[in-house]
Each structure stands twice: as structure tokens, then as C-alpha cells.
Structure 1
Amino acid sequence: MSGFEVAGVVLGSIPLLISALEYYSQGVSTLQKWRKYEREFRCLIRNLQIERVKLQNVCEKLLNGLVPLSKFETMIKSPGGEEWRTESIQRKIRQRLWEACDVFDQTIQDVKLATDELQQRLGSQNDGKVSELRRGIFTLRRSTYDDLLQRIKEGISNLENLTDRNIELEPSRKVRSQGKLFHILRNISNSLYRALRSSLACGCQHDLGVKLERRSFDIMPADDEERIICALAFQFAVSSLSKIETSLQDPKHLSTQTWQKVLVKATPSPSPLPSPLPPKGKKTVSFGFSHSMSSSTTTTLVKTATHTTVSNSICNPTTTMASLVLSNINPTINLCQTFQKTSSFQQADSPYGVIIDQQTAQAPRQYTVYPSLQGSGAMPIWTLISLREILEHKDRHIPISYRDRLYLALVISSNILQIHGTPWVPDTLDSRNVFFLANNGFPLYSHPIFVKNHEDVAKLTLPSSPSDGGVAFVLDREPKLLSLGFLLIELMLGQTLDALRVGTGPGSFPEGSLLSKYVTAQHVLPRVRTESLNYWTAVTRCLDGDLHTRRNGPDGTGLDRESLCEEVYSGVVALLEKDYENSC
């Protein structure tokens, strides 16, 4: 039973103690010679009532913001009920208590022991009746209960302090957790790109796209990187047709291709296994199995070994069990051939096979590839539509709703931090770098993607003669942050900066240049402010904020600095998260 569950049990048991004491108090008040002890009874009852309220406040603070208001009231009114044992709530509370979780558990356990002992000392009641002598004895020995009451007071007071301090630190811990998550995502994104590329060694020059997702992970101090990696899932789009079969001169060749969606998950790395027993008579040091590898996983891996391999390993005592297992990993697949052979109907839980990144610093990392489907059914034919086309209102695309715009702003800015410095993120971000999967011409705004190896048509150009003094001022900005600010404006106003361009007279900056975009962005910022103050603040920080002045430091430059990534998350992404959540 977790500490939070125990808190619910204690919260429900204190009223029972109070009821028992009130019953004793009523009996004692009927005796003339015991009236002077009635005040002491009331004091003891009042102290327990105070401790109950304090413990309830602790529980409310822990639950605040973690559960819906309707469920919140139900849980407080029914302490120790089924909702208190929900695993998702348990994990969120452990995340909130951080490293104080074990101390919290120990403290509330001590409070429970004290309340249980107090209940035992009150004694059992026979048919709801207690003799006057027993009441008298209880009153005369009330001082023997002071130690228990003191333990309850001190325990709940410590719980209050632990809860208050950890809730105060929760925002900064969340930022640090996101920083750790971003570091893991960048490493795994590079690895996934290499694995996917190696699985497409067919000469067809397929394009790859990664779905931009809003990721959050409750990272605990004791969590290891491997557990986090294996809990993540990534969605990719792979072009089905070769570039050779399309016109490379056509800048819209991405839109003319069809695409396959796949889901990729990391396969847990096998833990080191012990070497076989040495010949008798030799002294050795043996090592046991790692606890991180379950017996079921070990059994499954070993069962894949062929009889020949087993025989060879027995004949050769230098062959370790680990090499036996690793030699029988599922063979890698060629995704291009897999797509051609796969039926148009595919079960979502039926994997295509395994792909491997051989270039990791440690052992090769393998991933399992699944069709990205809901249940089973015919695979839809996907095409791509760029955000630029939609903002320019070409063809007859579905307009982007306000909530969708907030979602896209959040997910794009978040993914810049998640996977910057990887092949998936372009050097300069533009609405022509963001694509949507479309079915029958209808874009899915919940499926934005970055595409790698497409024609680079989104480079920001500079004036050929940068004579204006503002050029150096703008160029001193962090490029990705500056281009993100431009893109956020376009999303909110539903138009490209070229369409919103100001200063088209003689001497103005060329259309599409960095300075032209910057001047236009400053001109339309008041319109963004009327839509959302949080959104406006995030945009201004991308364009002119202190984040640019702190982009260089001893730990790196630009977004390669972990400290800058954390500041961008708290100063930009967190504000966009608030807007999106408030739009629900």
C-alpha cells in the first residue's frame, strides 16, 4: 500500500476515534465527580479534529491539479476509496513528491501506527456500552495517550512541510525533467534516423518524415534512460514511390508521392547474461542475472536459438550465453520490400519486423516496426500537403481552427527542442518545412511532420547588400528561435509573412528576406497580442527576448546548450501549453 493510500485510510479512521472519544465524554459527564475531566476530553477531541483537517489539506494539495474537480470532491469525501488506489494518480503523486516519496511513506505509516494504537487503547465496546468505571479509568489515565497524540501531530506536521516544499519545487523539477527527456529524444531520434535509412538501402531514395508529437514523461529521479526509451513510441511516414519515379525538378514532388505510416518502438536491450559454468576444479567469480531482465524475456530469447547454435556453444565453453542470445535476434527487414509484399490489410499489432542502428556508442540498438493503424483495416493512401500551401489558401483546404493553430504552435515549438540538431529538423524553419498527412486531399492537422531529404525550398535569404544597421542586429539572433517566432505569427494570423509584408516601397528589403520578415513580424505583433497575451509573450521572446543574449556559454552555443533549452521550454513552450489547455 502506497503512502497516499495510507493517508486515505488514516483520514477515514480519525473520525472513528473522535466518535469513540465523544461517546466516552458523554458517559463521564453524567458522573458528578468526573465533571472536571470533561474539558480535557473536549481538548483531546479538538486536537484530533485539527489533525484530521491538516491531513485532509495535505491530501488536497497532493491531488490539486492531478484529477478532475468532480473526481477531486468524491475522493476527499470518501478517503481510502477505490480512486485512491488508481495507478495513474499514484504515479503523479510520486512524481510530485520526488525524492521525498519514501520519507512521506514512512511518516504516514508512523501516523497510522499511532492512530491504530490509540484505537486499541480505547478498548472494544460491548454492545455499544462501556462501564462507568472503564470511562473513569480512561479519564484518569488520559496522560498515557499524550505520546500517541504527539506522534500524530509531529507526523502530520512533517507531512505538511514535505508536501509544501515539494509542490513549490515542482515547476523547476518539471523543467529539468523535460530537459532530460529532450536529451534522450535527441539521441534516440538520431539513432532512429540511422536505423530507418539502413532499412531502406534499396536505391530508391525514399523520403522520410517524423510525426511531431506533444510528448511528456513523468521522469522520476530513480528512472533509468533505458526504461524511458522503451516507453516511447515514434510515428514516421515513408514515401512509397521512388524519387526516380517522380520529377525532381518539381518542387512539389513530395505532394505527388504516396506515403506509408509506421510506428516504431525501441526493443529493450538484452542485459548481460552469465558465462557458462567453468570446468570443475577452477576457482572463478560468478555474476548473477540482472534484475532489469525478466525471466520471460530471457526464456523467449533463448528459445529462438537453433539446435545447431546450442550444440556449438556446448562444444565451445568460451561461447557466452549473451553471444548465444544476440546471435539469434530477429533479422532486419528492408522496409521498401516489406511495403511491396504487405497486404493492404494489416493487423496493427502485427509487426513488420526489426530495424537496427549499428552506429550506437554501445551495443547496436534495435527497433520494432509496426503498421500505424487503429485495429485492422485497409491501409489508406496518404499524400502530403505543406503548411505553406494551406496558409496561402491554395486549392480548397480545410481552414485551421483556433484550437488546431494553438496545438500546432505548441507541438512545433516543443519538437524543435526535442529533436533539434538531428537530421529531422531543418537549419532554418519555415512553413514550407511543415507538412500534413492528407487523405483524399483533406489534411490531418493532428499529424504534422518534418520531412527529411526533400527539396530544400525554405532557405531564408538575406539582402545582397546589407548596408542597413539593423542587419547585424537581426543576425545576432539564434536562427531557430527567430524562425520559430516568424512561424508562430503565421500560424496565429493564418497568413504568411510575405502576404502580410509591409514597406514595399523603394529601398525596402527584398521579399522573403530575413530583414523583410523581421520588420513585418514587428508590425503585426499587436494583432497577435489581441488574440492571446501568452502567445504574444512567447513570440516576442523568440524575436527579441533575453533568450538570444544567453545563447552562448561555456556549455555550448545555441540550442545545443541544455540550460538554454530549459529556458526556452519554460519561457516559450510552457506559455503555449497554457493557451492550448485553456482552449479545451
Structure 2
Amino acid sequence: MSGIEIAGIALAVFTVVSNGISHFVQGVKTIKYWRRYRIKLQGYAANMETQRVFYLDTLEGLLDGIVESDKDLAEMMAKPGALGWQSENYDKRLRQRLGRSYDVYLRTVREMYENLDSLCGQLGLSSTGEVLWNEYSIVDREMQRLKITVSKNVHQRLIADIDTANKNIREITRQSSYLEPIRETRRMNDLNRHWNRHLKLIRDHAASLYRVFVSGTNWKCRCKSRHAVSLRLKSHPTLLEEISLTADNRLKFRILLSNILPSKSLPGTLQWQEIETRSSTSMRHPMKSTASLIQMYRDANLNVASSTKTATLTSCQLPDSSISSATAIKNLCNEVWRDTHSSEMMGFLFDEENHEQNHEHYLYRVDTLPVYNSQSRSLHDVLSETRENSPLGTLLKRERLELAIILTSSVLHLEGTWWLNSQWSSHDIHFHRRLGEEPTPLTHPYLSWRQCAVADKSSTSTRKSTIGSGTIRNESLFALGLTLIELCFGKPFSALRRPEDGDLLDEATNKNCAFRLLAFVYDEMDGVYGDVVRRCLFQAFDVRVLNFNIEEVQNRVLEDIVVPLVENLKISKGDSGTR
């Protein structure tokens, strides 16, 4: 029996006992010479009614906030048999509120219920209020009444035990009410520290993937200029259970690799292969060579409790057999485009450019064979189509929110890394599909292609754009606001501009257009979405520098931009759960 259910049953029995003693007193009045006993019983009745009121007040305080509706709480207080007393969700919240006191509370309420039940039996009543002496003769009933009336020691002991239990429950409730906000603050602080560590891992691994696939030396082939790479975007987890880790605590990413085939075979044909990377990190030993580092890291995977001379892992990793036997990929081009009918691990790549940490990326094929005759369309292209022909035109508000969450999360993950240009736009968001397939759902966006073996690091620019009387503190965030407006109306910015916004197709015109449309965003979507767009455009965050490498900035963007959209999506799905 749950804590919430036993509390309701005890309340019901309290009512039965209180009414039963009052009824018992009325019966004693018919006996002329029992005045002294009648006064004593009246005292018991008053005491039990007081205990019942105390218990009601304690329950109301205990359930405040657990039962969110005042109407539901009032019904539960008035009707101990109401369905709310059987709610598993309420009991889950009660456990969270009481913490380690839950078992003590449960035992105390159960003991009080047992004492109340015993008192009911002495009064000739069941715990449901049924009279147990109806089948007795009048003489037997009066003899039972006499026996109970003169057994004052039994009554006093039971009532004293009930009083003690009631006080203990009241004290548990008081202490829990005092400790709950303290525990919640501590929990949120721990959760924020966890998110910060997790976000740092995402950003570090994303930057490492860029060095490995784009600007590094892993492409040792002569055709590397024909290779390009695109990173799949994903939403940021907002609940501890949603963190995208593999069973061995490695972060997962999706990478799309492309290859333009030579003109002699299939002129102009684009060949691509999607792979999943599982990334992990250890501290780099300053005195080790690259070859020994790789061997040392593999040894650390085989034996986490290795000597202090080996790498110290940032997270406990329990390797499976494929990871423990993985080998370094020597020729990435041959390995990626090799014909195979298996999705086994391809091997791992090592980030040699990071001199502080060892980033190791294990590669798995998503498709067993490379894909030919593929098609790529940007979000801008999709928005430019007529509403009748565009898949965006049929998207529900919930589906727009899902894409908006992915875009906002991606800025949080990638701003300041080389994957995301500071002045990115809907031109840089792509959707891929095989030719002949149904139109791709807009749930798996990728960043635009990056030519491999080209050190393009222009996106790390932190310049500020001054437009009119205002300053864009962070261009990536401002670009996010523009893209969210496009997504809101289902049109590219070029179709949303008006002559009053400006004559030039520049940042000033975009800003004027965005500010003009902001009020309509609230009408088209809702207040939450509009507030997120407003924060992206005005960037009125109370921080000195709007740099995404700063933990405080990450927290502000997560809480003020990403989380509101996630909560809004839950509401649209009919889910009232919170972070």
C-alpha cells in the first residue's frame, strides 16, 4: 500500500471513529446512572475530533503542491475514498518530497491506522463504519457497551498512541516542507553542473570531429578535394534520462560523408555514406608519442583501474568486445567507400591536433553500402517553394517546434566551433534523401557540406555588427532569430521583406524586417515562441560578454531559449512534465 493510499484510508477511519464515539455517547445517555462515564466518553469524542482536524491540516500541508488543483485537493480532504488517493503520480511526488523520511512516515501512518482500527472494533464498528453488533440481543449489546465504557485504560492508551503518531506525522511534514526547497536547490545545482559538463563534452567532441574529418590529416588520398562532410544536428537533452550516451558512456554523433565520383565512371554522381561516431576523451600525457598514446588509450579501455602512468578517463567506460579490439583507421577514404555488407565498427580516428586531451572517435556505418544518386535540399529551398508543394506547408505547430528546438540546440552546441559560421542562415541547413524516395521529413537536418582537408576556420570570428543604434552581441544567435522567424511563417526572409525595411539586402534590412515581424510571430505561434525569438534578436542577457564558451552564457541560452521551446512542445503533445 502506497504512502498516499494509506493516508487516505487513515483519514476515512478517523471519521468513522470520531462519529462512532459520538454515537456511543448518545447510547450511554439512555442509562440513568452512567453520567460519570458519559462525561469521560464525551472527552474522548472531543479529543478524537481534535486529532482528526490536526490530521486533516497536516495532510493538507503535506499534499500542497503535490495535488496541483485546489478542487482536487478539497475533494480528497472531503472524500477519503476519492480516486486521488490512489494516484501513483501523487505518491511519486510524495516520495520525492519526503525523501529519506518516506519510510518512517509510511510506518507511522500505518501504526496510527491500526490503532484507529482497534478503536473501531471496540466501538462495535468496522473500519468502513459498519455496525458489528446488530445481530446481538439487546442484553448482549448493553453488556458490550458496559464493558467498553468501563475499559478506560484501553481507550486512553489507544488515543495516546494516535496522538503521538499524529504529532510525529506533523513533525515529519514540517521538516520536509523546510528541507524541500533546500534539496531542490541542491538538486538543481548538481543538475546544472552535470549539464555544463555534458555540454562541454558535446562542444569539445564536435570541435574534435571537425579537426578529424575536415582540417586534419586523416584524408591521405589524392582525391581528398572531392570529399565533403556534413554534421547532423540534434536537440539538447533537458532531462537527465535523455542524455545521448551509448552503453559505454560515449557520445554519439552522425556524420554524412560525400564523394564526387570521377567523370570517367559516373560523371557528376554524388556518392555518400552516413556513419555514426562514438567519441570518448582522456587526458593527454605530455611525454608520450602519438603511437604510444593510442596504445595507452586502448590499454585504459581494457583496464580502467590501470596504473597512474596510463591515461585517466573522464568517465567510467566499460568497453564492448568490438571497441577493445578496434584498430586505428590508416586510410579513411578506402575504409569509408569500401563495399561491405556489414555495419561492423570501421575502426577509430585519433585527434592529433589537440595537445591537451586525447579524443578518440569510433566509426560505425549506418548504411552497409554507399548511397548513390542522392539529393540535398536546404531549408531555404524548402521555404522558397509554394506552400502547396512544400513539406513545410503541411507541418503542424508541434513539428515546427521540433525543428526549432533542434536549431536552437545546435547553436548552443556548435556556436564558436568551426562547424557553424557566425552568419549562418537557412541556406546552411540541409536535408538529404535518396532519389526516388518520399520527401524527407524535416526532422533530421544537417549542416552544409564542409570540404575536407581545407582549414576553414572563419566561423570562429567574434566580430560585432553595429546596425543603426543597436549592436548585435552575437551573430550566431541573431541568425537563429532570423531563421526562427522564417520557420514561423514558412517563408524565406527575401519573401518577408517590405520596402520600409530598407533598399539593400544587408544586415540592417534584415534587422528592420525582423523587428517589424516580431509582433506577428506572437500571433502566428504563441508567446513562448515569440519570447525566444525576441531574446535571440535583442540579446539582453545580463552577461558582460556573450561568448558561448562561458558557462554562464551557456546556462542563460539553455534556460531562456532552448528549455522554453522544449516545455512548449511538451504542452502541445499533452505532456505536463517539467525539467
The answer to whether the superposition gives a TM-score over 0.5 is yes
Tell me what 2:51 maps to: 44
Tell me what 1:536 maps to: 530
1:486 aligns with 2:482: yes
Deviations 1:205-253 (A, max 9, x none): 3322222212214349xx99999992743222222x248769xxxxxx9
What is the identity, as a one-letter code, of the residue corresponding to 2:170? K
1:410 aligns with 2:405: yes
Tell me what 1:434 maps to: 429
What is the identity, as a one-letter code, of the residue corresponding to 2:429? V
What is the identity, as a one-letter code, of the residue corresponding to 1:445? L
1:35 aligns with 2:41: yes
* SS of match in other structure, 2:41: helix
**Deviation for aligned residue 1:9:** 6.2
Cα pair distance change 1:53/1:540, threshold 3 Å: closer
**Deviation for aligned residue 1:480:** 1.4
Tell me what 2:560 maps to: 571
Q: Name which of 110, 114, 121 aligns with 2:104.
A: 110
Tell me what 2:174 maps to: 157
* SS of match in other structure, 2:442: strand
Cα pair distance change 1:57/1:183, threshold 3 Å: same
Partner Cα distance (1:226, 1:409) in 2: 23
* SS of match in other structure, 1:273: coil
1:187 aligns with 2:204: yes
Tell me what 2:239 maps to: 218
Tell me what 1:501 maps to: 497
Cα pair distance change 1:492/1:135, threshold 3 Å: farther
* SS of match in other structure, 1:155: helix
1:340 aligns with 2:347: no
What is the identity, as a one-letter code, of the residue corresponding to 1:524? L
Deviations 1:266-306 (A, max 9, x none): 4697464256xxxxxxxxx9xxx99x869xx58x77xx9xx
**Deviation for aligned residue 1:156:** 1.8
What is the identity, as a one-letter code, of the residue corresponding to 2:376? L
1:393 aligns with 2:405: no
Partner Cα distance (2:421, 2:494) in 1: 20
Q: Which runs of 5+ in 2 are unaligned?
A: 29-33, 70-80, 127-131, 133-143, 282-299, 460-464, 574-579
Tell me what 2:295 maps to: none
Taking structure 1 as the reference length, what is the TM-score of the superposition?
0.66
1:518 aligns with 2:518: no
Cα pair distance change 1:153/1:84, threshold 3 Å: closer
Partner Cα distance (2:413, 2:83) in 1: 36
Query: For the Cα contact (< 8 Å) 1:115–1:148, is it kept in 2?
Result: yes
Deviations 1:519-576 (A, max 9, x none): 33334334334313333333233223423xx5644xxx53333323332333333443
Partner Cα distance (1:172, 1:493) in 2: 38
1:558 aligns with 2:508: no
**Deviation for aligned residue 1:478:** 1.9
Relative to structure 2, which stretch is displaced further, 361-370 or 30-39?
361-370
Cα pair distance change 1:161/1:583, threshold 3 Å: same
Cα pair distance change 1:56/1:518, threshold 3 Å: closer
Query: For the Cα contact (< 8 Å) 1:428–1:483, is it kept in 2?
Result: yes
Partner Cα distance (1:199, 1:78) in 2: 61
Q: Name which of 411, 414, 426 aligns with 1:419.
A: 414
Tell me what 1:236 maps to: 255
Deviations 1:317-356 (A, max 9, x none): xxxxxxxxx9x64213455434433446x56xx5444444
Deviations 1:407-466 (A, max 9, x none): 322221221012222222122111111111223372330011113515999x99xxxxxx
Partner Cα distance (1:200, 1:136) in 2: 93
**Deviation for aligned residue 1:152:** 0.7
**Deviation for aligned residue 1:118:** 3.5
Query: For the Cα contact (< 8 Å) 1:204–1:244, is it kept in 2?
Result: no
Taking structure 2 as the reference length, what is the TM-score of the superposition?
0.67
Partner Cα distance (2:253, 2:192) in 1: 22
Cα pair distance change 1:218/1:476, threshold 3 Å: closer
Partner Cα distance (2:510, 2:99) in 1: 56
Partner Cα distance (2:377, 2:402) in 1: 18
Partner Cα distance (2:151, 2:218) in 1: 82
Cα pair distance change 1:421/1:390, threshold 3 Å: same
**Deviation for aligned residue 1:171:** 8.4
Partner Cα distance (1:23, 1:136) in 2: 18
Partner Cα distance (2:150, 2:365) in 1: 73
Tell me what 1:321 maps to: none
1:136 aligns with 2:152: yes
**Deviation for aligned residue 1:193:** 3.5
Partner Cα distance (1:378, 1:190) in 2: 26
**Deviation for aligned residue 1:155:** 0.5
Tell me what 2:376 maps to: 384
Q: CA RMSD in A?
A: 5.0
**Deviation for aligned residue 1:485:** 2.0
Tell me what 1:259 maps to: 272
Q: Which runs of 5+ in 1 are unaligned?
A: 63-72, 247-252, 276-284, 305-325, 461-468
* SS of match in other structure, 2:425: coil
Deviations 1:131-154 (A, max 9, x none): 727963332233344332211111
Partner Cα distance (1:193, 1:11) in 2: 58
**Deviation for aligned residue 1:6:** 6.2
Query: For the Cα contact (< 8 Å) 2:230–2:450, is it kept in 1?
Result: no
Query: For the Cα contact (< 8 Å) 2:10–2:112, is it kept in 1?
Result: no
Query: For the Cα contact (< 8 Å) 1:381–1:439, is it kept in 2?
Result: yes
**Deviation for aligned residue 1:195:** 4.8
Q: Name which of 59, 78, 97 aligns with 2:86.
A: 78
Partner Cα distance (2:466, 2:333) in 1: 49
Partner Cα distance (2:561, 2:204) in 1: 23
* SS of match in other structure, 1:260: strand
Partner Cα distance (1:170, 1:28) in 2: 52
Partner Cα distance (1:357, 1:473) in 2: 44
**Deviation for aligned residue 1:483:** 1.8
**Deviation for aligned residue 1:22:** 5.5
Cα pair distance change 1:218/1:571, threshold 3 Å: closer
Query: For the Cα contact (< 8 Å) 1:261–1:371, is it kept in 2?
Result: yes
Of the two, which has the highest radius of gyration? 2
Q: How many residues align?
A: 484
Deviations 1:13-72 (A, max 9, x none): 63576378469747954555142212212222333344344444454369xxxxxxxxxx
Partner Cα distance (1:74, 1:381) in 2: 63
**Deviation for aligned residue 1:178:** 4.8
Cα pair distance change 1:45/1:203, threshold 3 Å: farther
Query: For the Cα contact (< 8 Å) 1:382–1:439, is it kept in 2?
Result: yes
Query: For the Cα contact (< 8 Å) 1:27–1:132, is it kept in 2?
Result: no
Relative to structure 2, which stretch is displaced further, 39-48 or 479-488?
39-48
Q: Name which of 428, 444, 448 aligns with 2:445.
A: 448
Query: For the Cα contact (< 8 Å) 1:551–1:561, is it kept in 2?
Result: no
Cα pair distance change 1:366/1:564, threshold 3 Å: closer
Partner Cα distance (1:156, 1:364) in 2: 51
Cα pair distance change 1:264/1:407, threshold 3 Å: same
**Deviation for aligned residue 1:112:** 2.4
Partner Cα distance (1:75, 1:397) in 2: 48
